[in-house]
Amino acid sequence: MFLTQLVINSVVTGSIYVLIAIGLTIVYRVLKFANFSHAELITFGAYMAYIVNVSLGMDLFYGALAAFLLTGALGIATDRLVFKKLRKNGSNVISMMIASIGIGLVLRQSIQEKWGPNQVWYDIETRTFEIFGGSITEMQVYIILISIALILILHFMFTRTKLGKAMRGVSDNPQLAMASGIDTEKILLWVWFIGGGLAGIGGVFRGADTRLVPLLGWEIILSAFAVVILGGIGSFYGAIIAAYILGFAENFGVSILSDLSISTGYRPAIAFMILIIVLIVRPSGIMGKKEAA
C-alpha cells in the first residue's frame, strides 16, 4: 500500500538524518557554534567508504567503519588546525562559524578535484523485500538498524561511561569541568572524533540510499540543521525525535506536493519551512530549555 511505502521512506530518511544531526549537536553543545563544515565531513565519509568499497573491493560494512574512523580523524584535524587556534585567540562564535564555512569550501573543492563532479555509486547488492505492500531494500534495513544500534550505544555512552559523562560535563560547564580535574582539550578531541565519525556514517547511508556527488553533504546539511533546531539546539534526545519527525514531514510533504501537482523540487523547502516555523513558534525546540538534556 502507498501509505506503507511513505512510512518506510520516512523512517529511512529519518535514520539518515539522525546520526548526522547528533554529530552536529554534540559538537555544538561543547563549542557553541554551528559547524557548517559538517556538510563536507558527511561527503568525505561517503567517499572514504567508496575507496574501501569500490577501489579496494571490500564490503560496504568495512567502508562505513573506515568512514567513521577517518571522518572522525578529519574532525579532529579541523579542530587542531583551525578551531583550536581560534579558541586560543578568544575568537567569538561568529568567527568560528565563518571559519567552518571556509573549511567546508576547501574540503568540497578537494573532493571534487579528486573524484570529479559526476555521480558515482557504491558496489552493493540491491535485494528488495516486500512488507505490508511496501518495498524496502536490504541496504535500507541496514540503515535503519545500524542507526538504532548507534543511538543506543551513544545513549549508553552518555549515561553510563566516564567519557560520556565527562563530555556532558564539559558541555554543561567547561570551567567547572576543568576545576574537576578534567582535561577539557582531551575531551574535545573525543567530541570531534565522535561528531565527525557520525557525520561520516551518515554520508555513507545517504550515498548508499542515493548516489555519491561532491555536494552530497551540502544537499542534506540544511535538513540536519532543521533537525537540530527542531529538537532544541544541543539536545541529544530532541535531535533523535526531530530527525524522524523531519523524515516523515519531508516524505509526506513531497507526496502532498505531487498530489497538488506542485514540483517535488520543493522538497528541500520543507525542511526550511519547518525550520522557520519552529524559530517563530517555539524557538527552543521540542526538548529545548536553557539546560537541554
Partner 1 sequence: MLSVENVVSGYGETTVVNDVSINVAPGEIVVIIGPNGCGKSTLLKTIFGLVRPGSGKIAFNGEDITGAKPFELVRKGMGFVPQTENVFASLSVMENLEMGGYTIRAPDLEEIFRMFPVLEEKKKERASSLSGGERQMLAMARALMTRPKLLLLDEPSAGLAPKMVEVVMEKIKELREGDSSVLIIEQNAKSALSIADRGYIMVMGKKVFEGKTHEILDHKEIGRLYLGKRGG
Q: Name which of 48 and 292 has its Cβ closer to partner 1.
A: 292
Q: Name, in order, each residue with C-beta under 8 angstroms of 233's C-beta and a sequence gap of 6 or more.
A: 25, 28, 285, 288, 292
Is 60 or 177 the residue whose CB approaches partner 1 more closely? 177
Query: Residue 39 interacts with partner 1 (CB under 8 A)?
Result: no
Q: Which residues pair with 131 in a beta bridge?
A: 134
Q: Are the CB atoms for 185 and 7 separated by under 8 Å?
A: no
Under the binding rule (CB under 8 A), the answer on residue 162 touching partner 1 is: yes
| Contact status: 169 vs partner 1 (CB under 8 A) | yes
CB of 168 to partner 1, least distance (A): 6
Residue 144 and residue 16 in contact, taking contact as beta carbons nearer than 8 Å: no
Which of 169, 268 has the CB closer to partner 1? 169
The whole-angstrom separation of Cα 230 and Cα 213 is 27
Listed ranges 75-83, 107-115, 169-177, 258-266: which one lies at the site for partner 1 (CB under 8 A) = 169-177
Which CB atom, from 179 or from 281, has the smaller least distance to partner 1?
Answer: 179
Least Cβ distance, residue 288 to partner 1 (angstroms): 12
HSE value, Cβ hemisphere, 13 Å, CA-based, for 215: 5
Under the criterion CB under 8 A, does residue 160 sit at the interface with partner 1? no
Told to check if 161 binds partner 1 by CB under 8 A, we report: no
Contact 199, 23 (CB under 8 A): yes
Residue with Cβ nearer partner 1 (56 or 293): 293
Among 184, 210, 255, 284, binds partner 1 (CB under 8 A): 184
Distance between CA atoms of 93 and 265, rounded to whole angstroms?
Answer: 33
| Closer residue to partner 1 (CB): 130 or 162 | 162
Q: Is 240 in the site for partner 1 (CB under 8 A)?
A: no
Q: With respect to partner 1, which residue has the nearer C-beta, 97 or 157?
A: 157
Backbone angles phi, psi at 123, to 5 degrees: -95, 90
The residue behind cell 555536494 is 215
Q: Is residue 181 within the footprint of partner 1 (CB under 8 A)?
A: yes
Residue 166 as a binder of partner 1 (CB under 8 A): the answer is yes
Establish if 173 lies at the interface with partner 1 (CB under 8 A). Answer: yes
Is 37 in contact with 103 (CB distance < 8 Å)? yes
Query: Nine-digit cell at 212?
Result: 555519491
Which string of b and e fits 242-275 if b means at least 16 CB within 10 Å?
bbbbbbbbbbbbbbebeeeeeeeeeeeebbeebb
156 touches partner 1 by CB under 8 A: no
Instruction: Pick from 180, 256, 258, 279 the residue near partner 1 by CB under 8 A.
Output: 180
CB 72 within 8 A of CB 140: no
Kindly state whether residue 130 participates in binding partner 1, applying the rule CB under 8 A: no
Q: Of 8 and 177, which CB lies nearer to partner 1 in the complex structure?
A: 177
Binding residues for partner 1, rule: CB under 8 A, are 162, 165-166, 168-169, 172-173, 175-184, 291-293
